[in-house]
Structure 1
Amino acid sequence: MSSDHAPSAPSPAADEAPLRVLLPQILPALVVGVGAALLFLGISALAEEFKDVLWEDLPGALGIGAYSALWTVSVLTATGVAVGLVVWKVPGHAGPDPATTGLDGAPLAPGAVPGLLVAGTLALAGGVSLGPENPVIASAVALTYGLGRRAAPAVPGGAWVALATAATIGALFGTPVAAALVISEALAGHPGPGSLWDRLFAPLLAAGTGAVTTQLLAEPTFALGLPPLTDPGGEDLLAALVIASAGALFGLLAGHLFPYVHAAARRLRHPLLMLPLGGLVLGLLGALGGPLTLFKGLEEVKQLTANIGGWSSGELAKLTVVKLLALLVASSCGFRGGRIFPAVFVGSALGLLAQALVPEVHPAVAVSSAVLGVLLATTRQGWISLFVGAVLAASPAMLALLCLASLPAWLIVTGRPQLELDGAGKPLR
């Protein structure tokens, strides 16, 4: 987290009653929670409408197969042109280089928000292998920070960043748990006055409000319908340890390749060269991997796991590799989007590949453990990785296995390159 804008909520002074400090935080947290959820839902709905036009209405009207190789290459190349124009011409240039941004960072100037949201929406609709999390969080933070500082200049800037980040993560996952874990992890590196729960009060309220708003207006679910693990044994623990470590190693491959792919794209310099060429490469990868390797990956993961046992190991290996390459290309050449959701697809396909090679492995163990390993390697967000791995399986028995499996996986990834670069193009570790 940026030290200047690290998520932190106002904390009671030693001589001030906590209640007098916490109560005034309720209304801002509620407002930010609802606003962040509406922003996320609005962008998602707009992207879905545009996706239907691009991938159903237009090819139907033209008599072309919606996911034919020709249409896939054409749409993704055109998406690259459209996003390139936004990055080039729209004020704020759609924010900084997305390869250098994660779920945190200093607030953007509000003027960059429209371009960032447009570029992110185009990428979501056009089939780019990126998720909505980074653009939506960055936009919510920028708007909340700008408006909050005007409305209440005395409130620390980091408090507004914490509210917006927590609220948006709560909306994205449909639960405040993920946000609480992320903010707690951030606060651990920035100790301050007051108890942890005093400092978490407003962010957790914002996250809960964002999650409830999403649940009321949509029906978010990350459960994949995997067979539940009811009675884990020693073989399940061994499988989780091995597969999570394998996922971590595979995810590290992306971290090692990322600076080289990014440097190659940056040699083109101009966004109207980088992005259309990147779109062309993504189109070719999509034509090779098929429709499941397009888009952010969440719905595609559900389609993938709905046919356990119906995929050959060769098909699963192809899906895993193509999606990882698509994630690398999309992140390197300037498309705006997040890397968590595509990484979940990569991990899920890798887990099913392990289960196809060793059918005795329980599907929930294979998928959750592989997702855990891949996310640890690509994001270095330990709590988010555990949370996503557990929620995909929707099996309480998996949680203990994942906690243990995360330990050798963490030993593999700690200090290694992750899927994010610094301003000089070098990988963060």
Structure 2
Amino acid sequence: MSDAGESITGPRRATRARRLMVMAVPAIAVGIGSALMLWVLDLVSGGLQNVLWEFLPGAFGFGPDNPFWVFGVLTLTGAAVGAAVRYLPGHGGPDSAVGELDAEPPKLIALPSLAIAVVLGLAGGVSLGPENPIIGINSALAVALLARFAAGVPPKLAAVFAMAATIGALFGTPVAAALVLTGAVGAIKGEGALWDKLFLPLAAAASGAITTKLLGAHAMTFTLPPVGELDVVDALVGTGIAIGAALIVIVGAMLLPIVHRAFHALGNPLLFTTLGGALLGVLAVIGGPMTMFKGLNETGALLADPGAYSVGQLALFAGVKLLALVIAAAAGFRGGRVFPIVFIGVALGLLAAALFPGTPLALAVACAVLGATLVATHDGWIALFLGVVLVGDIHVLPMLCVIVLPVWLVVTASPELIARPADETPAT
């Protein structure tokens, strides 16, 4: 029996290995292409950002933090994004506020207007990241191009390639993609172990991450003082910090559908996105430049000199950024929620470390990011990954693996940071 089993299993394994090797070619191609698309989007939005926030203010003789300039640019950004969504073909693709990272790819006709909307938002200082739109753009292109040049790749798998590649490029490592996709690929029907199913998405993610590094992009990695030896007290304090951060973001998650309905009741994107831009301008004047843009550079600024900010400033940063995130997502801007949430988690972690001086700084930040991200994504893997990578200390991982359990009990019954469309509202 064992010999017969081996004679059947061996050829099947060899066939599966050959298929993986063949399919790795389009996976790697999608990885490279996805990273290049992200790089182009960052390059264009970064260039426009320099014009809006450095060249033009300098030409007019005042600083980029001038309140009238901040309010004006964000209001006009809202009007420009609203006009793109209202009048351009495809209407800016799907509303980012109601979509997740693995949402259906947008139609090809929507890609130009979606790209314009996200570039304007990133450059104009809107508190959203690029992740949802760029995953949508890359997924749509991957499905269309592989259907033409590699018809053997199923459309759903092509979309998974693009998602994995873009996540790998965004974070500069395939680890995040592996964690995020573990559940998704595990549910895919068919033969093979989990790692057989992860092989191709990881090939796409690795090629995306490598391409990003070759292009000179910065990875989301920071360094804080090592945590040292942690004890039960640290576990209790860390759990409290994580739950506290989660509860704060849950307030935002509860507000988002309400604010989304209020904005969209106006009917015309040109109206409600312009209004959203004006409100973001007011918040930016209150919170300052630190609460603008997607939050990655601002997160680096916070972690580069954690002692430079008072308790009041950190509380202001977190509160204003959360409100800005809710308004930006609800008002029709195109963008993702992960990068702003990371900034909020870091600000809350630094706030907790200031309020409880004996708490290791890296543990406080990691726990707050864990709690905030867990609400935003309802994904424990990405929350653990971000908690560790942001502080640059693997020694916090065992503690986070314990702390995530009680936090998940709080989060699992809470709403996600997503606006449910009217036709998906649960029946009462």
1:116 and 2:114 are equivalent in the alignment: yes
Equivalence for 1:78:
76
8 Å contact kept, 1:263–1:425: no
> How do residues 292-371 of structure 1 correspond to structure 2 at under 5 angstroms?
292-371=290-369
Give the AA of the match of 2:54: E
Is 1:374 aligned to residue 368 of structure 2? Answer: no
Aligned to 1:148: 146
Are 2:49 and 1:51 equivalent residues in the alignment?
A: yes
Structure with higher Rg: it is 2
Matched-pair identity in %: 47
1:107 alignment counterpart: 105
Tell me how far 1:32 sits from its aligned partner: 0.5
Letter in 1 for 2:80: A
Q: What is the aligned partner in structure 2 of residue 242 from structure 1?
A: 240
Higher helix share: 2
Distance 2:312 2:383 in 1: 27
- Distance, in Å, in 1 between the alignment partners of 2:292 and 2:368 is 20
Moved more, 43-52 or 193-202: 193-202
Q: Which residue of 2 aligns with 1:384?
A: 382
CA distance in 2, matches of 1:22, 1:292: 46
How far the C-alpha of 1:426 sits from its partner, in A, is 5.9
Counterpart contact for 2:78–2:273, Cα < 8 Å: yes
* 8 Å contact kept, 1:420–1:427: no
Moved more, 150-159 or 281-290: 150-159
Tell me if the contact between 2:377 and 2:416 (Cα under 8 Å) persists in the aligned partners. Answer: yes
Instruction: Write out aligned runs for 1:51-70 (5 A).
Output: 51-70=49-68
Runs of 5+ unmatched residues, structure 2: 1-9
SS of the equivalent of 1:309 reads helix
Residue number among 17, 20, 23 corresponding to 2:21 in the alignment: 23
In structure 1, how many angstroms separate the alpha carbons of the residues matched to 2:285 and 2:298? Answer: 15
Q: What residue identity is the alignment partner of 2:358? A: E
Q: Conserved in 2, the CA contact under 8 Å of 1:232 and 1:397?
A: no
In the TM superposition, residue 13 of structure 1 has moved relative to its aligned partner by 11
Contact 1:239 1:365 in 2 (8 A): no
Letter in 1 for 2:85: V
**One of 393, 396, 416 as aligned partner of 2:394:** 396
* Coordinate RMSD, CA, aligned: 1.7
Instruction: Measure the CA separation in 2 of the matches of 1:219 and 1:138.
Output: 21
Give me the whole-angstrom Cα distance separating, in 2, the residues matched to 1:162 and 1:426.
Answer: 25
TM-score if structure 2 supplies the norm length? 0.94
Matched, 1:232 2:230: yes
Quote the residue 2:260 is aligned against: 262
| Cα distance change of structure 1 residues 312 and 161 upon mapping to structure 2, 3 Å threshold | same
Which whole-Å CA distance do the structure 2 matches of 1:417 and 1:49 have between them?
37
Superposition deviation, residue 138 in structure 1: 0.5
Take 1:421 and 1:176, find their aligned partners in 2: how far apart are those partners? Answer: 29
Q: Say which SS state the counterpart of residue 78 (structure 1) adopts.
A: helix
Equivalences, count = 417
Q: Secondary structure at the match of 1:417?
A: coil
Q: Sort the Cα spacing of 1:427 and 1:406 in 2 relative to 1 into closer, same or farther, 3 A.
A: farther
Do the aligned residues in 2 keep the contact of 1:13 with 1:194 (CA within 8 Å)?
no
Counting only pairs closer than 5 Å after superposition, residues 28-47 of structure 1 correspond to structure 2 as 28-47=26-45
Task: Look up the match of 1:161.
Answer: 159
TM-score (norm 1): 0.94
Match of 2:212 among 214, 221, 225: 214
Separation (CA, whole Å) in 1 of partners of 2:128 and 2:423? 20
The code of the aligned residue for 1:175 comes to T
Q: Distance in 2 between matches of 1:160 and 1:13?
A: 26
Q: Are residues 1:252 and 2:237 paired?
A: no
Deviation sequence 1:72-113 (CA, Å, 0-9, x none)? 100100100111111011111111111111101112111111
Q: Deviations over 1:183-226 (max 9, x none)?
A: 11212344432111111111100100000011111142322331
Q: Structure 1: where are the runs of 5+ without partners?
A: 1-11
Residue pair 1:254, 1:378 contacting (<8 A) in 2 also: no
